[in-house]
Amino acid sequence: MLQGSLVAIVTPMKDDGELDFDALTSLIDWHIDAGTAGIVIVGTTGESPTVSVAEHKALIDITVKHVAGRVAVIAGTGANSTQEAIELTRFAQQVGADYSLSVVPYYNKPTQQGMYEHFKAIAEAVTIPIILYNVPGRTVADLANDTVVRLSAIKNIVGLKDATADLYRASDLFDRLPADFACYTGDDGSAAAFMLMGGHGVISVTANVAPQLMADLCRHALAGDVAATRRINNKLLGLHRDLFVEANPIPVKWALAEMGRMGQYIRLPLTPLSEAHHHLIRAALQRAEAI
C-alpha cells in the first residue's frame, strides 16, 4: 500500500501563462530527493479546472516519464462528466501512471447513487487503481461514508482522499473499510492526527514548500511516534493555516516563487496573492525553515 507524504504538486507556468515543464521536472526531482512518496499531478492544487484536456494529458505524460518509476505517480483524472473522467483515466493508464485520483463530480450535484454509478463506470473502463477524492467544500456534493464502503468492494477502487478534516468521520471509515483500502487526508492541518488514528498518509499542499518535513511528519506519525510527530507538526502549523489564506493554490504558488523554485503566474479566475498576505506566508516559511 502507498503510504506517506504525497504532494499535490502545483503546475508551474511561465510569465505568458504557458506550462513550464522545466520548472515542473525540477520540482519533481526536489520532492523525490526530499522523501516525498508520490507525485499527485493535475489535482486541484495543479489548477486542473483551468488547464485544457491536451495540457492535462501532457502534464500526466511528462510526469510519468520524468519520475521513471522512482516514486508513485497519481494522476488527477476526475471530471463532472463521467465520459471525460473515463477518457482521462484511460490516458493515465495508457502512459503508465500508478494510480488515478478521481474527484466527486462537481457542480451537477449527483445523488449518492449517481456518485456510486459514476465511479463504478470509471472503474469498469480501466484496470488502473483508483483513489476516490471527496472535497465537498469545492464540489458541493459529499461522498457519504456508506457510499465509500460500497465502492470499496469494486476491485480497482483502492483508496480515498478525504478532504473534510472530520476526524470522527475518518475513524468511522477506518473501522468499516477493508484493511487493504488506503485512506489519505487532503487536509494538512489534521494530517498528523489522521495518521495517528489509522490513516495511511496525506495528499498535501504543505509538502509543496516543505517536502522533507512533511515526509518526516508522515514517517513518525505512521510509526506511532507521537512526540516526534507533534514536534514536526508544530513547525508546520503556520504553513498548514496560511497556505489557505486565499484560495489554493494562490498562496502556495506565491510561496514557491518566493523560494526561487518557479514563477508565480496563476491562471484566471485565480489572481496573484494579495500583498497584505505576503508577510504571513513569509513568516510561515521561516518558521518551517523553508527560507
46-83 pLDDT, tens per residue? 999 999 999 999 999 999 999 999 999 999 999 999 99
Output the pLDDT for position 290.
95
Output the pLDDT for position 192.
98
How far apart CA 139 and CA 159 sit, in angstroms, is 19
What pLDDT, in 10s, does the model give residues 248-278?
999 999 999 999 999 999 999 999 999 999 9
Output the pLDDT for position 191.
98
Output the pLDDT for position 202.
98
Burial of 44 (0-12, 13-18, 19+ CB in 10 A): buried
C-alpha cell at 76: 488527477
Output the pLDDT for position 282.
98
The rounded percent of the chain whose pLDDT value lies above 70 is 100
C-alpha cell at 61: 505524460
Q: Where are the beta strands (DSSP E) in the chain?
A: 4-8, 38-41, 72-76, 99-103, 130-134, 157-162, 182-185, 201-204
Output the pLDDT for position 123.
98
Output the pLDDT for position 33.
98
Output the pLDDT for position 34.
98
Section 185-203 average pLDDT = 98
What pLDDT, in 10s, does the model give residues 202-239?
999 999 999 999 999 999 999 999 999 999 999 999 99
Residues involved in catalysis: 133, 161
Output the pLDDT for position 48.
96
Section 8-21 average pLDDT = 97
Closest CA to 208 of 51, 83, 36: 36
Output the pLDDT for position 3.
98
Output the pLDDT for position 16.
95
Please tell me whether residue 107 adopts helix, strand or coil conformation. coil
Q: What is the pTM of this model?
A: 0.96
Output the pLDDT for position 84.
97
Section 138-144 average pLDDT = 97
Closest CA to 136 of 105, 93, 99: 105
What pLDDT, in 10s, does the model give residues 159-169?
999 999 999 99
For the chain, what is the mean pLDDT? Answer: 97
Which domains are assigned to the chain? 4-225 (3.20.20.70)
Full DSSP string of 80-92:
SSHHHHHHHHHHH
Q: Under 8 Å CB-to-CB from 42, ≥6 apart: which residues?
A: 11, 48, 51, 56, 59, 60, 75, 76, 77
Q: What is the DSSP letter of 126?
A: -
How far apart CA 160 and CA 101 sit, in angstroms, is 9
Output the pLDDT for position 79.
96
How far apart CA 45 and CA 91 sit, in angstroms, is 20
